[in-house]
Structure 1
Amino acid sequence: MLGIQTFAKLLLVSISSVKRRYLARYANAAFFMALFCLAIGSTGQSYAAWYEAKGQAVIVNGNKEKARRDATEEALKQALLFAGASINSVQQLTNGLLEREDITISSSGEVDHLELTDEIWHSDYVTVSVRADIFPAAKQCTAVEYDKNIATSYFMVENRNHLVEGKIPNFSEAVTRKLATEMSAQAQNLNLAYIAPHTTRWGVNGLEENVRALSRQSNAQFVLIGSISDVSVERQRPSSFAFWKEEKATRYFSLSIKVFDGINSGLLLQQDYVTEAAWPFDRFTDVDEFSSTFWRTEYGKAIKKQMQQLTADINETIACQPMTGRVLNVAGSHISVSLGRDNGIKNGDELFVYQTSEIIDRHGKAYLQYHIYPGAFVVENAYGNTARLIHKDSGIVANIQESDFVIKR
């Protein structure tokens, strides 16, 4: 049997190997060093590890405080991701770090201890180092393993006059597609599977019905709607005493989103994402909002960062939502449903069928009432986006109708 010291050394060698492969992929973002605690307890205990990470951020318009915050957040996020912890509290922890001069914070949960160990200021960017004692995240639910499909349409731009400068009429499409790209890269089980090729003004009237309609049309369980309220540009002309200087331009970005369960139109997440960054183009430049040139600007990077945060927020919100689909067809003793291998369904899985009805109380308020069909159904054949089920015990499917619902817990 290996001694504790030998075991610890082997662990460190293994971690270093993984770290080198990780660093090869993320060399330009941050670097990591992990050291396991010297005291290793009994078998089955969750171990914490110290992680050191560096983050960098560009100083825009002389705003050093924002650059410092961005660099700290980047370092902490990379450390958490590398350690296997969740990143839902990154912003909260970062803000806590920056509130006081000693730059030390302790918290319960995955991050046990956190320190800002160093910051180095350069002419146009800052490098921040953090050191964190992190416990890897425990699996919270079985549903986290299932693919979550989301449908949306191009985000509505509320004031299209904001798109005149730069001539970016397709800005909403570009941002929506950038979100799809970031979601695919960042979240393993999260897919922006369907984007309706038009913008939609989601008013209050008929909202729930429209959400359910988009969910049915796309065969996606979740629906994301978004509205961009600000893409304006603010220009600061140099004073008459510094006429040789170029004017500075700042462009804003403000996005409001809602995420619904498309099956019952329940609101799961409502959030605003606001940022600003330098706009490097003059008043007369035509900008291609789909181009790499645009997305490599500080403004493009700032929006991309908001898309990454939006992805993390959605993932955190719906990770443990049970996978739900619809009954497509009832034929004899078999039913076909709108869940399949693309959703992680496989032969032998057990699903449950239920119906919903609307009831109205004496005050006129509407509620959904659920009627669960007795027993479980077993997947007999799983296909791409559908599956054929049979009742686990009796094989009877009486009273089940098309448009009923099926759930995998």
Structure 2
Amino acid sequence: MIKAIIFLVLICSSTLVKAEWFEVVGYASTQGRDTAQARQAAVQDAITQALIFSGATISSVQSIADGVLNQDEIKIKSHGEIQQVNLVSESHEGDNYSVTLHLDIYATHNQCAEQKFNKQIAITQSQLTQPHQARLGQIFDIAKSTSQRLFNTLNERTSTVKPIPYLNTINVREYFAQQFDYNPALIETIATNSNSQYVLLSQITDIAAMDKLNSDYAFWQSDEYARSFKIDFALYDALTYEKVWYQHYATRGVWPFEKTELIDVYSDKFWNTHYGQQIQEVFNKLSQDLNAAVSCIPTKGKILYLNDDQVVINLGRVHGLEPGTVLSIMHQSSIITNRGSVVNSTIQTIDQVKVISVNMQNATAINLNTRPLSNIQLNDIVQVKIKNEDNFSLHN
């Protein structure tokens, strides 16, 4: 039972708050952990997910004694404060430990309003930059298997990020070069095929075996090595082709297999090892960082069809739209730089449209102005318009 919780929270001084209940499931592996440590990791995972969904950014971790959360030294750069946490259930099945928490979170007036609208992100297949390093265990499919694992991680978590799988083999190396002379055509193709506002690219830069962990004199033990895992992520805005976020992650884990053993990187046997769980921890952190990077960015889409005062756009219910949602329109144009690269630019118009019907991936909207929609073209940009009213204050 969770006995006492103390949060150090940096919140705005506004007293206008709205209480919301969140029920979140946190997961952790028991590989390399005792029950108390697994419970700690699962509780941390659940609370972190809830805080991020409510608008918080995590900067440190919880402390748990004897498997019971009795103190929280977490530092939160937050617009929300947790008032109560209830442990609904916990279970231990195989190598997995899970807890379900019920959290009462008070969101303040200054919480980011954009985060209630979702952003679809195309998750592409990673690229292994040093294929020869995969010979140990013959794990040449690790780029594909980790990309699928990343998609599943993002898909299972509650956040403004809505992942779309795009696991075709692509060459991403130029998108991580310092010269930024990449071809935007790939970004455009992926975004169009997946109906995504962003494209996430990644490259695995190091999976080399490292030091032997057990002694040569312990001949009765199987050899165990430390193995590295380093990966770069770059997030591109599909409307402007700009790199809007970049992060490098590095970890290492125990590689418990014999040198000659062939390893199936899609199997539970691999993912339940210490090495596999360390990779999973990277993806858990990535999900937090990615959500923080895009949650307060306006949700944008394109005009797919235009007929007099009605437009069809590529945003829908999955993005958080509903009848009555207002969007502003921006003209889009392409500029060719002196280096021959393409830069997309937008010009804000005074035109606005209101959603009248919504499907999962698109919506129909009508002109809100008395003047006709002039000079509006296909592929012009629509942006969800955030009202300035007190969206997060309590109403009597």
**TM-score normalised according to structure 2 size:** 0.71
Which secondary structure state, in structure 1, belongs to the residue aligned with residue 350 of structure 2?
coil
Q: 1:356 aligns with which of 332, 340, 348?
A: 332
Which secondary structure state, in structure 2, belongs to the residue aligned with residue 198 of structure 1?
coil
Q: Distance in 2 between matches of 1:45 and 1:387?
A: 32
CA deviation after TM superposition for structure 1 residue 188, in Å: 3.5
Q: Match of 2:60?
A: 93
Which secondary structure state, in structure 2, belongs to the residue aligned with residue 257 of structure 1?
strand
Q: Cα–Cα, structure 1 residues 137 and 167, in superposed 2: closer, same or farther, change >3 Å?
A: farther
Can you list the C-alpha shifts for 1:155-184, whole angstroms capped at 9, x where unaligned?
A: 000011122221222211111111111112
Q: 1:158 aligns with which of 94, 117, 129?
A: 129
**Which amino acid letter does the alignment assign opposite residue 93 of structure 1?**
S
Q: Distance in 2 between matches of 1:87 and 1:145?
A: 10
Q: Match of 1:194?
A: 165
Query: Is 2:303–2:381's contact at 8 Å kept on the other side of the alignment?
Result: yes
The reply to whether residue 266 of structure 1 matches residue 242 of structure 2 is yes
1:129-148 equivalences under 5 Å are: 136=106, 138=108, 140-148=111-119
Aligned pairs, how many?
336
1:64-79 equivalences under 5 Å are: 78-79=46-47
Q: Match of 2:140?
A: 169
Amino-acid identity (%)? 20
Q: 2:209 aligns with which of 219, 222, 233?
A: 233
1:329-340 equivalences under 5 Å are: 329-340=305-316
**Which amino acid letter does the alignment assign opposite residue 234 of structure 2?**
K
Query: Is 1:235–1:247's contact at 8 Å kept on the other side of the alignment?
Result: no
Q: Which has the higher strand share?
A: 2
1:9-408 equivalences under 5 Å are: 32-34=2-4, 78-81=46-49, 90=58, 92-94=59-61, 109-110=77-78, 136=106, 138=108, 140-203=111-174, 204-234=180-210, 236=212, 241-358=217-334, 369-394=345-370, 396-408=372-384
Query: Is 1:187–1:311's contact at 8 Å kept on the other side of the alignment?
Result: no
Largest Rg, 1 or 2: 1
**TM-score normalised according to structure 1 size:** 0.69
Q: Distance in 2 between matches of 1:366 and 1:197?
A: 24
Which secondary structure state, in structure 1, belongs to the residue aligned with residue 168 of structure 2?
strand
Aligned-residue RMSD, C-alpha? 4.1
Q: Distance in 2 between matches of 1:376 and 1:304?
A: 43
Q: Distance in 2 between matches of 1:241 and 1:75?
A: 40
Query: Is 1:85–1:135's contact at 8 Å kept on the other side of the alignment?
Result: no
Can you list the C-alpha shifts for 1:240-276, whole angstroms capped at 9, x where unaligned?
A: 6444443221111100001122111222211011111
Can you list the C-alpha shifts for 1:349-396, whole angstroms capped at 9, x where unaligned?
A: 211111133568999998754322323111122223122222112262
CA deviation after TM superposition for structure 1 residue 237, in Å: 7.7
**Which amino acid letter does the alignment assign opposite residue 222 of structure 1?**
Y
Query: Is 2:5–2:72's contact at 8 Å kept on the other side of the alignment?
Result: no
Q: Which has the higher helix share?
A: 1
Query: Is 1:226–1:256's contact at 8 Å kept on the other side of the alignment?
Result: yes
Unaligned runs of 5+ in 1: 1-30, 38-42, 48-54, 61-67, 97-102, 113-133
**Which amino acid letter does the alignment assign opposite residue 281 of structure 1?**
F
Q: Cα–Cα, structure 1 residues 137 and 297, in superposed 2: closer, same or farther, change >3 Å?
A: farther
**Which amino acid letter does the alignment assign opposite residue 190 of structure 1?**
V
Q: Cα–Cα, structure 1 residues 56 and 261, in superposed 2: closer, same or farther, change >3 Å?
A: closer
**Which amino acid letter does the alignment assign opposite residue 214 of structure 1?**
I
Unaligned runs of 5+ in 2: 8-14, 20-26, 64-70, 82-103, 175-179, 386-396
Query: Is 1:354–1:372's contact at 8 Å kept on the other side of the alignment?
Result: yes
